[in-house]
Structure 1
């Protein structure tokens, strides 16, 4: 989570990269949920969302996709059993 109006800059920057970024803080919550699920990628749809094609083991494939940028940090709780 970005902290409003708190920017940090490293170096002089340039036209493509100012070298500045927003300060962040950890957003925490207590939950009784025991499973965290994110995204699955079905790489059989690497050419099209509408047609599935199996990948072969001999060629290299260039695949690109967006990743979810959220991190989940779990507290360590000693086992009581």
Structure 2
């Protein structure tokens, strides 16, 4: 198998990177998965041993979250 073939396989089966929020630049989290569609959103939440904490000025399902949502179609091979 040639190096070109190996690279093509890596690209086909590798997971895609998680998108960054176009508003604040933070890494978004998966909100919903349906078939090959993955919906990401910027929640502004951090999780630790004490639970969930929101960034200052943020709350669950706020305007920032609604405006940041993006749906990505996964074109990688599911096999």
> Smaller-chain TM-score range?
under 0.3
TM-score (norm 1): 0.25
Q: Which has the larger helix fraction? A: 2
- Indicate the structure (1 or 2) with the bigger Cα radius of gyration: 1
Q: Which has the larger strand fraction? A: 2
TM-score (norm 2): 0.25
